[in-house]
């Protein structure tokens, strides 16, 4: 078991800027591979293709996690600021922190599947175009997450910010677990209303295009409306998820990579679980518990464990909450209205 380890920053931007660059190149290459053969050939994502996508993105994340461990064994002994620390223990800690952050973001993002369904149904987006909307939505999400994480890393340097974040996450967890289930109404969204005031919107789809030129002017299409609404909801979602990962690790590089890997696989997960998402009705209790736990960890547990609650314990608690949520949903299915 890995105990709490005090150490300087493991991935300072000034020293490992090239690592950020390599990661971004990896993501761009993976996205290109994912889009290859689909541009101009929109089609419905089948069950088999969705499974292949899920396996690919999860496998890539686990491969990256193993690569972090190997990188730590090679790099940490060369860092003068880490002299006196056990490189193997630090490498294990950073790889487990990445895995914990990945699991938190992945589990929290499952709830977004419901929002995807609501948005696509509201704007009447055919199934063959949904992959395109989600693809460009993910590209925008990467940019916004990078900005959120950069801001969060600066705020975390202020002594009282972790306490504020921790309390916020705990209250959010209680709201997720015990609050009423509701999903945003696109027709009442402020962004959508503003867009309609400044950009005319075509009432009909124009194949896979986000803009169309008609009557001497540019019009937005329902595909654009769906894309912008998904971007807006992701920004709102990041307010919860980014601080949750900062509760696990203070390393911006680990927060960024775990966050990006989790949302990259969300499209394939959507096509795989879209028809089954409603069956995981106990998931909200598991997610609420996880948010409460990471909030408690950030605001109270870390100071009582010499600044860092053991990562192995955190990972075990997160996995247990997700497993129990899945088991309860399986063995105690939601009663249908017709069963009464």
Residue 3 has pLDDT above 60, yes or no: no
Mean pLDDT within 111-137: 80
Going by pLDDT thresholds of 50, 70 and 90, the confidence category of residue 186 is low
Q: Is the pLDDT of residue 260 over 50?
A: yes
- SS3 label, residue 214: strand
Q: At what angle do helices 266-273 and 252-264 cross, to 10 degrees?
A: 40
pLDDT at 8: 67
Coil/strand/helix, residue 111: coil
What mean pLDDT is reported for the chain? 81
| Lowest-pLDDT range of 1-15, 162-176, 239-253 | 1-15
Torsion of CA 325, 328, 334, 335, to 10 degrees: -160
SS3 167: helix
User: Does residue 67 have a pLDDT over 90?
Assistant: yes
Asked if pLDDT for residue 211 goes beyond 50, the answer is: yes
Q: Are 141 and 55 in contact (CB under 8 A)?
A: no
Range 66-72 average pLDDT: 94
Give the mean pLDDT of 233-256.
86
Measured in whole angstroms, how far is the alpha carbon of residue 270 from the centre of its chain? 13
pLDDT band at 71 (very low <50, low <70, confident <90, very high): very high
The string of pLDDT tens digits covering residues 96-109 is: 999 999 999 888 87
pLDDT recorded at residue 44: 67
Average pLDDT of the segment spanning 114-134: 81
What is the Cα–Cα distance from 104 to 133, expressed in whole angstroms?
24
pLDDT of 91 above 80: yes
Tell whether the model's pLDDT for residue 53 goes beyond 60: yes
């Amino acid at each position: 078991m890995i105990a709490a380890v005090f150490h300087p920053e493991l991935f300072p931007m000034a020293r490992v800027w090239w690592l950020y660059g390599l990661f971004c190149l990896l993501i761009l290459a993976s996205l290109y591979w994912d889009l290859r053969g689909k541009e101009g050939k929109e089609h419905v994502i089948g069950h088999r293709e969705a499974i292949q996508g899920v396996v690919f993105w999860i496998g890539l994340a686990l491969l990256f996690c193993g690569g972090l461990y190997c990188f730590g064994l090679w790099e940490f002994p060369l860092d003068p600021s880490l002299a006196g620390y056990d490189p193997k223990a630090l490498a294990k800690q950073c790889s487990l922190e990445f895995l914990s952050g990945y699991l938190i973001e992945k589990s929290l993002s499952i709830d977004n599947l419901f929002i995807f369904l609501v948005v696509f149904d509201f704007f009447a987006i055919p199934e063959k175009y949904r992959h395109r909307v989600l693809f460009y939505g993910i590209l925008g999400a990467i940019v916004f997450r990078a900005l959120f994480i950069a801001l969060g890393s600066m705020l975390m340097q202020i002594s009282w910010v972790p306490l504020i974040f921790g309390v916020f996450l705990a209250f959010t967890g209680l709201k997720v677990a015990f609050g009423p289930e509701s999903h945003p109404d696109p027709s009442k969204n402020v962004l959508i209303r503003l867009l309609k005031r400044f950009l005319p919107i075509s009432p009909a789809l124009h194949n896979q295009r986000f803009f169309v030129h008609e009557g001497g002017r540019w019009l937005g299409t329902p595909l654009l409306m769906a894309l912008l609404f998904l971007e807006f909801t992701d920004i709102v979602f990041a307010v919860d998820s980014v601080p949750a990962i900062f509760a696990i690790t203070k390393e911006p590089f680990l927060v960024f990579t775990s966050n990006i890997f989790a949302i990259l696989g969300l499209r394939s997960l959507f096509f795989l679980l879209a028809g089954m998402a409603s069956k995981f009705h106990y998931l909200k209790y598991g997610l609420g518990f996880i948010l409460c736990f990471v909030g408690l960890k950030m605001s109270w547990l870390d100071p009582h464990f010499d600044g860092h609650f053991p990562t192995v314990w955190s990972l075990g608690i997160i996995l247990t909450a997700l497993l129990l949520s899945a088991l309860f949903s399986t063995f105690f299915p939601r009663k249908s209205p017709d069963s009464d």
